[in-house]
Amino acid sequence: MFSLNESLDISNVVDCKVQYTQWLQQHSDDVIVLDAACVNRVDAAGLQLLVSFHHSARVAGKDLQFQNVSETLEEGLKVLGLDSILMGAQ
């Protein structure tokens, strides 16, 4: 299980992308489990990053599963209508 960063926003989206790409490359299972409990700040750039990560995982033949989704992340996903895309991946 991998833990998402506390802040998924424009200030760190590039660093997070590098980290998530490494996760994708080093994880050999068909499912990547992401613990989202500590996410306490998210913006559109952070949500776009998660959608991109979801797409990259699918292309690599892997599924993402989110666990312990924080209220902050859940609200952000709902506002942009992304909850069905990312949370539906469970």
pLDDT tens per residue, range 15-73: 999 999 999 888 888 999 999 999 999 999 999 999 999 999 999 999 999 999 999 99
Whether 48 and 15 have beta carbons less than 8 Å apart is answered as: no
Q: How far apart are CA 37 and CA 73, in angstroms?
A: 9
Q: How far apart are CA 4 and CA 65, in angstroms?
A: 12
Residue 80 phi/psi, 5-degree rounding, is -95, 5
Pick the CATH number of 2-89 from 3.30.750.24, 3.40.50.920, 3.20.20.190, 3.30.450.20: 3.30.750.24
pTM, full prediction: 0.87
Whether 14 and 51 have beta carbons less than 8 Å apart is answered as: no
Q: Please say if the pLDDT value at position 90 is more than 90.
A: no
